[in-house]
Structure 1
Amino acid sequence: MSEDKTRERWAARPGEEVSEVDNAHRAPSGVIDVPSRLLMGPGPANAHPRVLAAQSLPLLGHMHQPFFKIMDDISEGLRYTLQTKSKYTLMVSGTGHAGMEAAIANLVEPGDKVVVGNAGIWGERVGILSRRYQADVVEIKVPAGQTFSYETLKATLLEHKPAVLFLCQGESSTGTHQSLAGVGELCRQTGTLLLVDVVCSLAGVPIFTDAWGIDCVYGGSQKCLSGPPGASPFFLSERAMEKLQKRKTPPATYNLDMNLIGDYWGWFGKRSYHHTGPVSTFYAMREALALVAEEGLESMWARHQAMHKRLWDGLRGMGLKPFVEKDEDRLITVNTIKVPEGVDWAALVKHAMDTYSLEIAGGLGPTVGKVWRVGIMGYNAKPQNVELVLTAFKDGLQRQGKELPLPEEAGAGAAQPQPAAAPA
């Protein structure tokens, strides 16, 4: 049909006028062009090729039985990855922020007291969200690079007896790893639900959700799980589900109401439409969780630990120091490195990208301008990638006139940077 005939057809519709199409601002055309980069920042990390391939599979309807089977596989994979027997596992349709909001919206009623452990930007945001959901927020803080002691958490819980305690296992803005030892037991003594952020730690460091008495977890798909952004692993314990179902008021969000989303995922013995799940993203996450199961959690945790050690052997060989002083507080999946005096951190980051097509990140929140952040996560946690990071640091520091220690000054056994490898 000609353009004139098309305009005549639409002009015939009562009450509507049809103008000339504005062709001055056409949408993009042609095939998309995306550069190949090695993403060794705090995330997203590079996705596994099998995960990328899964996204090219044919679409299914979001209420088709074959798609329900994929959702069931995801739930089972999450139970293994989180080490839980709870049936209340799923992927929230959205990034880690959506998982964060889902947790607060479903666990917190107006007036509930919530203790928020603020060790960086993620605790800060949970505090903001909790206030928006009309919680009575008690915020405890530690300086950037430190974590909460068991004694501090115990005293706080006994004093406030909150409805919810929030802790971030892996704080990517500061590079800290919060110990959860004994915290779940404390929470049970005070009738408190334990909410934990595992966005950048899930599958990279140990977590035993049932054994540690955790009640709600949200995570990210694009970090150690080696998937695309857009899905948030989510878990509720029986205690958390009981709190949800006994609420005096429904969650203030329809989009993230776990009564409704859980029904879509088959939590209650049936499946009802709530929203159109991100079909291709869920394909990817089914494959990502299958890869976790095939490698085995203990092997994954050991691989991440080994690459963390390899990175720091090399960095210390250049005279660089960790931002987090205590070994036991240091996160192995997102490493924070002190920027030495007189070094332009941004110039080193830019040189790594321009020369090696390699992402190294600067600080975030309380660490802006103070640190570099290097992610060792999932598919990227392998020797050739760590060696390229070390090469970029050595090159970048030398270009700024930074004198590096001689091998004997750096200490025996310190890994020396190798020639650059192609991005993996």
Structure 2
Amino acid sequence: MTFPAPIDPPARLLMGPGPISAYPSVLRAMSAPLVGQYDPFMTATMTETQELYRQVWATDNDATVLVDGTSRAGIEAAMISLVRPGDRVLVPIFGRFGHLLAEIAERAMAEVHTIEVPWGEVFPVSAVRDAIERVKPHLLALVQGDTSTTMLQPLDEIGELCRANGVLFYTDATASLGGNAFEMDAWGLDAATAGLQKCLGGPSGSAPISLSDAAVEVIRSRTRIEAGIREAGDPTASDFVRSNYFDLGMILDYWGPRRLNHHTEATTMLYGARECARVLLLEGRDAVIDRHRLHGEAMLAGVRGLGLTVFGDVAHKMSNVVAVEIPEGVPGDAARSAMLDDFGIEIGTSFGPLHGRVWRIGTMGYNARTDAVLQTLASLETVLRRFGAPVPAGGGVEAANDVYRAAS
């Protein structure tokens, strides 16, 4: 029998919308030895990781934990635990991942209401206010940064609207946390979820989540009701949480002081998630956001320096990703393949109405750095020339360097 060789991935510079190249220290942390799930080292590491992520989220929430799974696992855990069948959920949609929130809310058997703006725009506060007053939802579910459009939805005034109307406020910050401003407590958020594979600089597979006291009370009330349902032998009752794995009441008990067994914690992902937060806080939360802003500005200037048109409302663009219109006559997928095959650099395509129309180029986490930006722009120039696009010689690198010189 012939056995495959040991895993040996090719060298890649991941400059798409995520996943990205992980911080080397995160990969080293994930190679650390395993311990048992109730080993004192393990439980101490869990507690330590909770405190680190409170600082990342800018919150005092006790209920700050990891959900073992990709960022979508965090979204599903939040939705299925916070929403009872029949609850009204309002989802403002400005890209693909708003549609995802609506779908998951529907699977949680919510009464889902949506509002939409064209891709490339964000919602004015007035539109969200009008929808809240009209729908009177139990939960507002809103993406902060949607990588499908690269737009960053302002959240700072929406929490106050939700509090004034008795609405729980949840956001998916998968694409934005760590690279853009995020203030959980100051903005009045009740629930927020993310993943590691973007600005936090790790692999996909762990979903940080933080919950306010109000959100925890909703979850705990369902746990109390569920106990009565089980006792009555009626598993079809509407308050029954329909997932065991994603039941946040059980997950919080596992991470809490009682350490009630729920599942075996994904030890290697815990190590990686801890290191993602440690690296961010060691550099400084604001410093990391500023670093993403600087290199995002350099990439934005660079693609414009190559004569490319930037998609969407740049005033509301995330710091960590830019979408550019594919030049006429350039085969988008073939050019992306050339970037990967010839230079080992991955950039992204997009979804829905933007599929085949734009490339998405990320500068996030470990790759929010000068050499990665300049290498990507130089390689992109070469590929564009190969496919006949009339780009200025050195225009991308020079424009990016202007940004760096101005910042120095």
TM-score by length of 2: 0.92
* Structure 1 counterpart of 2:51, from 76, 89, 98: 76
Partner of 1:133: 108
TM alignment of 1:122-161, pairs within 5 A: 122-161=97-136
Matched, 1:291 2:279: yes
The answer (yes or no) to whether the contact 2:327–2:389 under 8 Å persists in 1 is: no
Instruction: Note if 1:101 corresponds to 2:43.
Output: no
Alignment of 1:307-386 (within 5 A): 307-324=295-312, 326-386=313-373
Alignment of 1:251 onto 2:238? no
Aligned partner of 1:261: which letter? I
Amino acid corresponding to residue 23 of structure 2 in structure 1: H
Cα offset, 1:226, TM superposition: 1.1
- Secondary structure in 2 matching 1:415: helix
Whether the aligned pair in 2 keeps the contact of 1:119 and 1:144 (CA below 8 Å) is yes
Partner of 2:267: 279
Amino acid aligned to 1:304: H
Contact 1:317 1:416 in 2 (8 A): no
Deviations 1:22-77 (A, max 9, x none): x6xx7x44422211111111111111111111111111111211101111111111
Post-superposition shift, 1:310? 0.7
Q: Which runs of structure 2 are paired with 1:45-124 in the superposition (5 Å)? A: 45-124=20-99
| Counterpart AA for 2:295 | M
2:50 match: secondary structure: helix
1:401 alignment partner, SS class:
coil
Matched residue, 2:168? 193
Give the Cα–Cα distance (whole angstroms) in 2 for the partners of residues 335 and 30 of structure 1: 38
Aligned to 2:153: 178
Displacement of 1:366 in angstroms is 3.1
Assess, with a 3 A threshold, how the Cα gap between structure 1 residues 263 and 127 changes in structure 2: closer, same or farther. Answer: same
Q: Among residues 140, 144, 148, which one is paired with 1:169 in the alignment?
A: 144
Q: Is residue 260 from structure 1 mapped to residue 250 from structure 2 by the alignment?
A: yes
- What amino acid sits opposite 1:288 in the alignment? C
Q: 1:416 to 1:396 in 2, by over 3 A?
A: farther
In structure 2, C-alpha distance between the alignment counterparts of 1:209 and 1:281, rounded to whole Å: 24
How many correspondences in the alignment? 387
Partner of 1:388: 375
**Structure 1 CA distance, aligned partners of 2:401 and 2:381?**
9
SS in 2 for 1:110: coil
Deviations 1:370-419 (A, max 9, x none): 11011111111000000111012111111111112478xx79x72379xx
Query: 1:186 deviation in Å?
Result: 0.2
Check the 8 A contact 1:361/1:373 in 2, yes or no. yes
Instruction: Identify unmatched segments of 5+ residues in structure 1.
Output: 1-22, 418-424
Q: Contact 1:120–1:366 at 8 Å: present in 2 too?
A: no
Residues 29 and 315 (structure 1), Cα distance of their counterparts in 2 relative to 1, 3 Å cut = closer
* In 2, Cα distance between equivalents of 1:277 and 1:29: 30
Post-superposition CA distance 1:67-121 (Å, at most 9, x none): 0111111111110000000110011000011011001001100110000111111
Question: Could you say what secondary structure the match of 2:296 adopts?
Answer: helix
Whichever residue aligns with residue 299 of structure 2, its letter is L
Structure 2 counterpart of 1:235: 210
Equivalent residue of 1:414, what SS?
helix
Q: Which structure 2 residue ranges, 5 or more long, are not aligned? A: 226-238, 403-408
| 1:39 maps onto 2:14 in alignment | yes
Quote the RMSD (CA, aligned, Å). Answer: 1.8
Deviations 1:209-268 (A, max 9, x none): 0000011011011111111211001011011111112235232111011111111111xx
Percent pairwise identity: 37
Distance in 1 (alpha carbons) for counterparts of 2:400 and 2:138: 48
Partner SS for 2:399: coil
Following the alignment from structure 2 to structure 1, what is the Cα–Cα distance between the partners of residues 147 and 391? 28
Q: Does 1:415 align with 2:390?
A: no
Q: 2:235 maps to what in 1?
A: none
CA distance in 2, matches of 1:342, 1:30: 41
**TM-score, length-scaled by structure 1:** 0.88
Residue equivalent to 2:231: none
Q: Which amino acid aligns with 1:402?
A: A
CA distance in 1, matches of 2:5, 2:338: 31
